[in-house]
Amino acid sequence: MVLNYLNLSRLDLSYFKIDKGRQDYPNGMSTMMKQKKQNYKMKFIDQLFVETLNIQTFQKQQLSNFEQFRNYKIIYKRYAGLFFAICVDVNDNELTSLELIHLYVEVLDKYFGNVCELDIVFNFNKAYGILDEMIIGGEVMETSKQVVINAVKNIELLD
């Protein structure tokens, strides 16, 4: 999640674990269960967004970049006018997530040349593309800046 100093969301991406075990329901029940799961995910994301805004608002009083949210941790970092946040499982390493935020900002800086909020607003598809090259299915897959940038540039050549 990327927010600006006015608490406007600029980039938002979420991954959820999918239950594959409950496919034996009749068609109507399966659709109803999917709808309930979707509603739960949306409520969770809304609550997470509010919690992240609360962290951003009171960040000047806090010295930590880690906050507890239910059974998850919110790891966040402010770069210039943008506020980057990741919500991870309570067992995940906080420093690895903080390093991922820093790596993402470095890749954005290298790709856009001193990235700012307008770069993300007007080129959100490229910002998502960079994030998709780094994270697949909620897991970090690539940590090399040059490999990520080359992959995104190769995709641009196809367009």
pLDDT at 11 > cutoff 80: no
Q: What distance in Å separates the CA atoms of residue 13 and residue 36, rounded to the nearest whole number?
A: 20
Q: How confident is the model at residue 29 (pLDDT cuts 50, 70, 90)?
A: very low
Q: How confident is the model at residue 156 (pLDDT cuts 50, 70, 90)?
A: confident
Within 10 Å of residue 17's Cβ, how many Cβ atoms?
8
Higher pLDDT among residues 45 and 129, named by residue? 129
State residue 146's pLDDT score.
93
Q: Alpha carbon 157 to chain centroid distance?
A: 26
Question: Is residue 118 packed enough to be buried (19+ CB in 10 Å), middle (13-18) or exposed (0-12)?
Answer: exposed
Residue environment code for 78-102, b if the CB has 16+ CB neighbours within 10 A, otherwise e: ebeebbbbbbbeeeeeeeebbebbe
pLDDT at 131 > cutoff 50: yes
Q: List phi, psi (to 5°) of 73.
A: -120, 140
Query: Can you read off the two tokens belonging to residue 123?
Result: 């080129």
Average model confidence (pLDDT) across the chain: 77
Q: How confident is the model at residue 9 (pLDDT cuts 50, 70, 90)?
A: confident
User: Which pLDDT tens digit goes with each residue over 51-105?
Assistant: 666 665 555 555 678 878 778 888 888 888 888 888 888 898 999 999 999 999 9
Q: How confident is the model at residue 145 (pLDDT cuts 50, 70, 90)?
A: very high
Query: Can you read off the two tokens belonging to residue 95?
Result: 């420093």
Higher pLDDT among residues 50 and 33, named by residue? 50
Residue 75 and residue 101 in contact, taking contact as beta carbons nearer than 8 Å: yes
How far from each other are the two terminal CA atoms of the chain, in whole angstroms?
26
